[in-house]
Chains A and B, each alone.
Chain A
């Protein structure tokens, strides 16, 4: 979003509970209305039909949940950035909570280009953890994992194998197995639905009456070998305000990312990962309830 006098801002938000069924595009419209409700003036494009300058990050499939969605936009006037999360959350539907916001550095790369990996949690109904462990071992051992999928209305065969960096299964507090995976966004994003299909294919178990669930837990930008959370990655340095606890209790930094050390979660360290995901999950559970 170059070449204008607006103030670029990035916000992070959740998409949890019933609102998961709202499409990416309709979430965008809800944000536009939220800015108007809160009388936060957005910068508009010029021309015959002015549009607010908003750009969304990687699309999240309709029906999927997320703890970390992002959007960039330009405000026409400066506002108290610290107040943005609470104000926007109040004007957005339940389940969309803005958990952080920052003023964006000039010339920050767009979200779509900047985000390198995302972490996902998958819950496959009716598959126990022993079955899933077996499936995952085979998936990791395979040289390629071809899947027939549709892109722009055409059937294409794609290989899922290069897309994921890690794939492990854990058991949550209720004893239900959860697949954790970190996937690359390039050269082509992996569609969680495709991965679910593949895992089911490997398990030889079709989806029955229930529903497989997807939760996006993190998005990462990699820079100089370090992994950065998108708000931190491109925060404007001038009058930077550290983000604290936000409206509905999600803290900005669930991970200690001071010092720019490698934050890649170590999936061999089950303890760590579980604690982290348990926190995320209990938030999700609270929202859904």
Chain B
């Protein structure tokens, strides 16, 4: 029987007095909606499978929440994974997962739609489905059960979740959710009869992957092929891309939580996509090309957003915010034109490492100059060429010098370890950079400090490093402790690192195939939820589950893949040609950098050329002072094998770009010209 749309609040309320931070479960945020559900509408429950504090700030779900609620044929509410104390209470009292907006049972919605931001949340996804009273395996669901959908970056390798999720959406969700709604509305009108048929209809929506519509063939341990079961099901599912971010000024009413959350400020997404080409970065690879939001729209969204929310801080988000055309002018404008709202803070996540960035930061942080973060990612120039993060030591030191000189006292440096071709001298290079940074800092301030944050590298699908064998737990630990020894307390450098065991498990899920689903299910059944949380992460559960399923962890994690191997995500496309990725992998091994195609000729990675897309940028000239692939200030260290070719159209644009206007770079045409 379908769950009725009833208000569970009277049953939830007495439980909230017994749990931590009960306000996480009451909804009522400014910007939230309480839709009335009409039977002809498709009701979506948007679920973030981690705690409210982490999930609420997720912009992807907030965007979709608004877009769906603006539609006549849809209504959307939200849910988050209840923390362990409430989950126990709910189970003890037979109360299902509920929406925070109107406290309706999750099972009463037509769609349970999950955001997948990180692999370690997968077990929480199962616990949310189960808590909704829905069978965790797709094949066991009946016509009365909701359709389980997922999207977000991790969907680009859908296979580990293939047994549990009915349909996954690749890429931007803005348009896809509308098309899915139409398919489901038709299904509801027809009396929700045949689940198989509606899944097949979903499979023909562009960007939607329905795992049950595909056969998986193995050859012993090896994956042989993943092929559609029916002729109308696509052999390769291509991602969705909104061509112009300017058409999607969402969220318009960003949710303002009543409890403190991890990212408690207004967010305005200033561009989507990044073509810096860092080879370890899945986000950059799968979100190409660059689509900037028009300047005017950014300003309006900042102004209206602050006014509606009452926030006093705004983050201009993107994958590399300093690359936004005319960012310095925009920042100056926002800092200098604050109408009436008091002290407004501005933050730019994901900044480049150079003096320009420090200049920007000092414009913003006029008073509170406590900490500044840079991400050089690797300890030597050689290795930074391998990963295509072309920051010279001069860049770093001048950025750091600028920061300390202008009053910052703490600098945080992010690094990865376990990168391809990494040798101990590269790892130890991190220590040297850290020590030099402290030395520079002490020239300006006796209490200057530097924190080195070290993450273990996990190769991600749809990147040039997808073939690379990840470092095992022991190897990562060895490197971490080697570095720790090189950075004794007296060095003035503090070091933090990510748990190598968690990195290993992330590796299982990141490049896993369909067989990993059974491992995820086992870990969940054995109580392994909230694996993102250090105190709940349980490595033994994962290893035991792998063993119980007869799967070899090293085969999945530390093994180098070969060129001819079928990868579990080969039938999913982010637009990047596999031979482009392979070529880039070879360039990496040859220590060759690759320029940013926003400012240099297209090298035909496949995205724009195949999807008839183009970069949407206001200025096609590289930003002043920026290095990292722009070819500027790269004299230090070694010769950079990045070639920059002048281009007629580009210089025209550059000439015209005195004030940032919204223009497009026709890279598809250039791709052909190459």
Contact = CB atoms under 8 A, between A and B. Distances in A.
Contacts of A50: 343
A262 to B, nearest CB: 36
A39 B341 contact: yes
Given A26-B259, A34-B310, A36-B312, A21 B23 contact: yes
Contact of A37 (B258, B308, B343): B308
A44 interface: yes
Given A19-B258, A36-B341, A211 B28 contact: no
A211 B258 contact: no
Interface centre among A18, A48, A49, A93 (most CB of B within 10 A): A18
B463 to A, nearest CB: 40
Interface residues of A, number: 31
B26 interface: yes
Given A18-B26, A44-B342, A210-B14, A32 B310 contact: yes
A107 to B, nearest CB: 26
Contacts of A48: 367-368
B410 to A, nearest CB: 15
Nearest to A51: B343
B16 interface: yes
A37 B23 contact: no
Interface in A31-51: 32-37, 39, 41-42, 44, 48-50
Interface string A1-34: 0000000000000000011011100100110111
Interface string A41-72: 11010001110100000000011000000000
A91 B13 CA distance: 25
Nearest to A19: B28
A32 B264 CA distance: 14
A103 to B, nearest CB: 21
A121 B28 CA distance: 26
Contacts of A29: 260
Given A37-B307, A210-B14, A93 B258 contact: yes
B646 interface: no
A130 interface: no
A288 to B, nearest CB: 9
Contacts of B28: 18-19, 93-95
A22 B309 contact: no
Contacts of B17: 63, 211
Contact of A62 (B22, B306, B343, B368): B22
B94 to A, nearest CB: 12
A33 B256 contact: yes
Contacts of A62: 22-23
Nearest to A47: B367
A93 B34 CA distance: 14
Nearest to A93: B28
B344 to A, nearest CB: 9
Interface centre among B22, B342, B368 (most CB of A within 10 A): B342
B447 to A, nearest CB: 15
A141 interface: no
Nearest to B257: A26
Interface centre among A34, A91, A93, A94 (most CB of B within 10 A): A93
A142 interface: no
B367 A63 contact: no
Contact of B310 (A18, A41, A63, A91): A91
Contact of B258 (A26, A52, A91, A210): A26
A22 B340 contact: no
B559 interface: no
B2 interface: no
B367 A30 contact: no
B343 A63 contact: no
Interface in B300-329: 306-312
Contacts of A30: 258
B258 A22 contact: yes
Place the interface of chain B in its size category: 20 to 34
Contact of A93 (B30, B260, B368): B30
Nearest to A38: B310
Interface in B337-379: 340-343, 367-368
A23 B16 CA distance: 13
B107 to A, nearest CB: 22
Contacts of A93: 28-30, 258
Contacts of B259: 22-23, 26
Interface centre among B309, B310, B341 (most CB of A within 10 A): B310
A128 to B, nearest CB: 19
Contacts of A39: 307, 340-341
Given A36-B312, A41-B340, A49-B368, A63 B14 contact: no
Given A34-B310, A94-B28, A41 B23 contact: no
A143 B512 CA distance: 70
A34 B13 CA distance: 26
Nearest to B93: A209
A26 B260 contact: yes
Interface string A207-239: 001110000000000000000000000000000
Contacts of A91: 310
A21 B16 contact: yes
A33 B340 contact: no
A49 B312 CA distance: 13
Interface in A88-120: 91, 93-95
A153 B69 CA distance: 46
Contacts of B22: 21, 62-63
Contacts of A36: 306, 310-312, 341-342
A37 B310 contact: yes
A201 to B, nearest CB: 18
Contact of B311 (A23, A33, A95): A33
A32 B259 CA distance: 13
Contacts of A52: 342
A24 to B, nearest CB: 11
Contacts of B368: 48-49
A23 B367 CA distance: 30
Contact of A44 (B30, B308, B343): B343
Nearest to B309: A33
Contacts of A32: 310, 312
A22 B306 CA distance: 22
A37 B309 contact: yes
Nearest to B308: A37
A209 B15 CA distance: 8
Contacts of B311: 33, 36
Interface string B148-181: 0000000000000000000000000000000000
A270 to B, nearest CB: 29
A41 B342 contact: yes
Nearest to A63: B17
A188 B536 CA distance: 39
B220 to A, nearest CB: 55
Nearest to A208: B14
A35 B309 CA distance: 11
Contacts of B14: 209-211
B25 to A, nearest CB: 8
Interface centre among A21, A23, A32, A33 (most CB of B within 10 A): A21
A41 B311 CA distance: 14
A231 to B, nearest CB: 24
A41 B342 CA distance: 7
Contacts of A23: 23, 259
A15 B353 CA distance: 48
Interface of B: 9, 13-14, 16-17, 22-23, 25-30, 93, 256, 258-260, 306-312, 340-343, 367-368
Given A18-B26, A23-B23, 16 more contacts: A19-B26, A19-B258, A21-B25, A22-B259, A33-B256, A36-B311, A37-B307, A44-B343, A48-B367, A48-B368, A62-B22, A63-B16, A93-B30, A94-B28, A209-B93, A210-B14
Per CB-CB distance, the 3 closest pairs between chain A and chain B, nearest first, are A33-B310, A211-B14, A21-B22
12 contacts: A22-B259, A33-B311, A36-B310, A39-B307, A41-B342, A48-B367, A50-B343, A63-B16, A63-B22, A93-B28, A93-B258, A211-B14
